[in-house]
Amino acid sequence: MIHPHKKVVIGIVTYNSRHKIADCLDSVNRQNYPRELVQVVVVDNSSHDSTKEYLAEVWPQVTVIANDRNAGFAAANNQIYSWAKDQADYLVLLNDDTIVEPYWLSRLVNAVSGDEKIAAVQSKLLLYPEKNLINSLGNSLQFLGFAFCDHYREPDSHAYTALFDLPYASGAAVLLKLSALQEIGLFDEKLFMYHEDVDLGWRLRLSGYRVVIDPLSVVYHKYSYSKARYKFYYMDRNRWIVLLKNYRLATIVLLAPMLLIMEVGITAFSIKNEWSKEKFKGWLWLIKNFGYIMSERRKIQDLRRVSDREILSLFVGPITNQEVENKLLSWVANPLLEAYFLLVRLVVFW
């Protein structure tokens, strides 16, 4: 059942996206949801190709916010949120390298309308052009803060049809309830890019909301895995920011031995793979901005309605990101992580 009275803003962040934004907007334009209730807002992060000119010429009905610098994924989406918060019921974040099915949006709206506790609904992400393979059928969050897609590159068996809960929803294709965002905010702009969706999902969970996936809301994602050094910097640094902000202090103390062991391992990995400068740069940032992290932590903890024990029930022990699989991880690190996580789950009562 479509809820035709619910207004939706679809937000898309672009950066040099001329070669991919057309497919995305064409598919959005083919939705079976009432067009008069949907507004598309694009924030362009100072593209130097013809993205802005293309949008102005071909998509005049799209609202375009043009930044004079690359503000990052988090800040650009916050601009969309600021635009949407007084004009719609729901905000949908959509990557510019996606193609959506015609019923994609109506499925998301129906899902979030079915339970007042649901604040975020992710779509099933399939790869493109390998449309029979999964990009993300939900996401896993490892207890030390590593995040990865579930069922990546597995054949899409269509076995999942009902909603199920996630620790966080991917920012590539997610509907968010604006009333919940008005309570906790959207993205932490200090993250710039990567892990901002992890942080948001964690905060929503701590505030008592549900985060789910609708496997029948389908999006195709032109996904590619990058090993760029800047990506290692942001992912490693941001993992620490999210951990320090969201866990209770007692949980951080309990995790400290394993966090230290993992930090030694990641540092060795960074040296071996020639991104140690980025690793040390991340440490320096954390030290310089520790006051900011603690300030954000206090805000989050003041909104907390859910225990760490309940949060940990959504997390996993091993790291199973297929992009970084190796024998040391599979045979040594993961068994140790799994055992430690079981111990943590037994101890944490707070």
Indicate the residue among 221, 242, 271 that finishes a domain.
221
Examine the domain organization and report whether 215 and 267 are in the same domain: no
Percent of the chain with pLDDT over 90: 91
> Residue 326 — very low, low, confident or very high, per pLDDT cuts 50/70/90?
confident
In a domain, 3, yes or no: no
In a domain, 116, yes or no: yes
Predicted confidence at residue 300, as pLDDT, reads: 97
Examine the domain organization and report whether 86 and 172 are in the same domain: yes
Structure tokens at 135: 């990009």
In a domain, 209, yes or no: yes
Predicted confidence at residue 3, as pLDDT, reads: 57
Indicate the residue among 194, 221, 248 that finishes a domain.
221
> What's the total number of domains in the chain?
2
Interval 279-296 mean pLDDT: 98
Which of 15-29, 118-132, 216-230 has the lowest average pLDDT?
Answer: 216-230
Q: Where are the alpha helices (DSSP H) in 129-172?
A: none
Please tell me the distance from the alpha carbon of residue 293 to that of residue 190, in angstroms, as a whole number.
Answer: 9
In a domain, 262, yes or no: yes
Indicate the residue among 171, 190, 221 that finishes a domain.
221
Write out the residue range of the structural domain in which residue 15 sits. 8-221
Examine the domain organization and report whether 274 and 160 are in the same domain: no
What pLDDT, in 10s, does the model give residues 164-200?
999 999 999 999 999 999 999 999 999 999 999 999 9
In a domain, 193, yes or no: yes
> Residue 60 — very low, low, confident or very high, per pLDDT cuts 50/70/90?
very high
Examine the domain organization and report whether 45 and 62 are in the same domain: yes
Please tell me the distance from the alpha carbon of residue 14 to that of residue 128, in angstroms, as a whole number.
Answer: 19
In a domain, 1, yes or no: no
Per-position DSSP letters for 162-182, written without gaps between them = S-EE-SS--TTEEEEEHHHHH
Predicted confidence at residue 329, as pLDDT, reads: 79
> Residue 327 — very low, low, confident or very high, per pLDDT cuts 50/70/90?
confident
> Residue 227 — very low, low, confident or very high, per pLDDT cuts 50/70/90?
confident
Examine the domain organization and report whether 275 and 309 are in the same domain: yes
Q: Look over the chain and give the mean of its residue pLDDT values, rounded to a whole number.
A: 94
In a domain, 80, yes or no: yes
Interval 194-217 mean pLDDT: 97
Query: Among positive and negative, which fits the CA dihedral 232, 234, 235, 240?
Result: positive
Predicted confidence at residue 1, as pLDDT, reads: 54
Examine the domain organization and report whether 51 and 181 are in the same domain: yes
In a domain, 240, yes or no: yes
- CATH code where residue 111 lies: 3.90.550.60
pTM of the model: 0.95
What pLDDT, in 10s, does the model give residues 114-123?
899 999 999 9
